[in-house]
Amino acid sequence: MKKAIRIIVTIGFIVFLLMQLYQPARNLDDGQVLPEHFTKVYHVPQNVQAILRTSCYDCHSNNTNYPWYSYIQPGRIFMENHIKKGKKDLNFSEFGKYSKRKQGSKLEAIIKQMESGKMPIASYTLLHKKALITPTQKKEVINWINITKYSLSLEN
């Protein structure tokens, strides 16, 4: 019985080591802020930018700040899946590529996600305490989005 446990543990350790060889490409854009970036499409106040950068950009932009645990599998795979899904749903780095209608929908979705407390997700804020959004910060972002949406409706 002890021999079987030892074999299972050894195989598990070897699999864990082999998993470390798989390192997907990192989500980094070298800090470039292109014309289609959210902050270039809209005049975003510094306080709102700071909130979004701290709480949203890691998963919803082309530039992720990778913590130490992202170098260890399976954490990296888990993280990459979150980033891929997050960027599919909303990418602040490519916001200007969305149609005006889609931009409006995305802004509305941000409000709904923040009001419901679904964003940032709990698994992210568990390890990134700075990403937690206070009620005051939530109000700042939502107020700014509402003003922006209103000015968009006046343009159309």
31 pLDDT band, cuts 50/70/90, is: low
| pLDDT of 117 strictly over 80 | yes
From the CB of residue 117, how many other CB atoms can be counted at a distance below 10 Å? 11
33 pLDDT band, cuts 50/70/90, is: low
% of the chain residues with pLDDT over 90: 26
Contacting residues for 22 by C-beta, under 8 A, at least 6 apart: 73, 76, 77
What SS3 class is residue 140? Answer: helix
pLDDT value of position 91: 93
pLDDT value of position 50: 93
pLDDT value of position 139: 94
pLDDT digits (tens, 9 = 90+) for 35-91: 888 888 888 999 999 999 899 988 898 888 887 777 788 877 888 888 889 899 999
CB pairs under 8 A, 24+ apart, for 46-55?
47/140, 48/140, 48/141, 48/144, 51/133, 51/137, 51/140, 51/141, 52/92, 52/141, 54/130, 54/131, 55/119, 55/120, 55/131, 55/132, 55/133, 55/137
pLDDT value of position 152: 63
| pLDDT of 19 strictly over 80 | no
pLDDT digits (tens, 9 = 90+) for 120-136: 888 888 778 888 899 99
pTM comes to 0.77
